[in-house]
Amino acid sequence: MNLWFRLFLMLLRRPWRKPVDASATTVVRMRVWPLDLDLNRHVTNGRYFTLADIGRMDYVLRSGAFRVALRHKAVPIVGDTWGKFRRELRLFEAFEIHTRMLGWDNKWTFMEHRFVSKGRVVGVVVMRGLFRAGRGTVAPGEFALELGLPEQSPSMPAWLTDWSRNCNDMSHQLRTQEAPPARQPETVG
């Protein structure tokens, strides 16, 4: 329920929040509430990923990406996420989520969510996702053009492209492991 309340609050504030260029960083301010905590009395690692969804929703609404998705009759799909935790967030601590697009390749768009408290980055969530329509995946370069960005992605850091390649390798491995075993010919005896 806590996350629904935060999402609703973010949507209520939307009319007063200015639209941004798709290359901009958006900022959502929040506070740590009791339902965000684990047994160690700090924000549980899984909560960062869920809170990143709210930051991403704010970015999608303010950058106009939702309008592009509507034109394509596409829905956002998160493919993979990765998190880095540097410092804990404690009960009632104020923090911000800084969301920005890092770039895109031929299939995925990459976004970063920095959790900032007292001027320090306390955690980062990176996501690769796409927009899927009835006709298939909307090409990220095409999506970027409609957002007013160049079709070609800005240069992405090696760690990000390596991570994406590793995610692809894992997906391939899982598909291979899930494939039904090859059927053996029956022997007549």
Q: What is the pTM of this model?
A: 0.86
pLDDT value, residue 1: 39
User: What are the structural domain ranges in the chain?
Assistant: 2-169
Q: What pLDDT, in 10s, does the model give residues 18-60? A: 889 999 999 999 999 988 898 888 898 999 999 999 999 999 9
Is 123 within 8 Å of 85 (Cβ atoms)? Answer: yes
Is 107 within 8 Å of 126 (Cβ atoms)? Answer: no
For residue 83, which of 44, 109, 41 has the smallest C-alpha distance? 44
Token output for 154: 């800005």
Q: What pLDDT, in 10s, does the model give residues 84-135? A: 999 999 999 999 999 999 999 999 999 999 999 999 999 999 999 999 999 9
17 phi/psi in degrees, rounded to 5: -95, 130
For residue 111, which of 171, 178, 58 has the smallest C-alpha distance? 58
Is 77 within 8 Å of 136 (Cβ atoms)? Answer: no
Please tell me the CATH code under which domain 2-169 is placed. Answer: 3.10.129.10
**Residue range 52-81: mean pLDDT, rounded:** 94
SS3 85: strand
